[in-house]
Amino acid sequence: MWLVLQQDKADDFVIGTGETHSVKEFLEEAFAYLDLDWKEYIEIDPIYFRPTEVENLRADFTKAQKLLSWSPKISFKDLVKIMVDFDLELIGLPSPGKGKIILQEKRLNWRA
């Protein structure tokens, strides 16, 4: 975001991984990280399905890569670990800690 703010002219940039993942994939990854089966904890209510939803959404970060020399540094699986660790610590529960380690290795800040 700092790079976006340093531009001479205001502009729009898409920041994302360029990957597509479903909510189900997120659940599978998050619960697997905690050695849990998401199907035992999550109930799906079809009332929340959106039949007119766009089928495939994917960030195109080409412009940010070209003008800012920016590219994603965190994979989907690592991001899930970071998010799970952060949320567990936020509510006072111990986390596996792999997400925090990932951020430390990449020299990124953990902010709670």
Q: Is residue 111 part of a domain?
A: no
Q: Is residue 61 part of a domain?
A: yes
Q: Is residue 5 part of a domain?
A: no
Q: Is residue 1 part of a domain?
A: no
Domain count, the chain: 1
CATH number at residue 74: 3.90.25
Q: Is the pTM of this model over 0.85?
A: no
Q: What percent of the chain has pLDDT over 90?
A: 76
Q: Is residue 3 part of a domain?
A: no
The whole-number average pLDDT for the span 37-46 is 94
Q: Is residue 112 part of a domain?
A: no
The b/e string for 21-47 (b: 16+ C-beta within 10 A; e otherwise) is beeeeebbbbbebeeeeeeeeeeeeee
pLDDT at 55: 72
Give pLDDT tens digits for 3-15: 999 999 999 999 9
Q: For residue 85, name the pLDDT band (cuts at 50, 70, 90).
A: very high
| H and E: helices and strands count for the chain | 5, 0
Nearest to 36 by CA among 45, 27, 46: 27
**Cα separations in angstroms, 111 against 6, 30, 89, 100:** 23, 20, 11, 10
The whole-number average pLDDT for the span 46-55 is 77
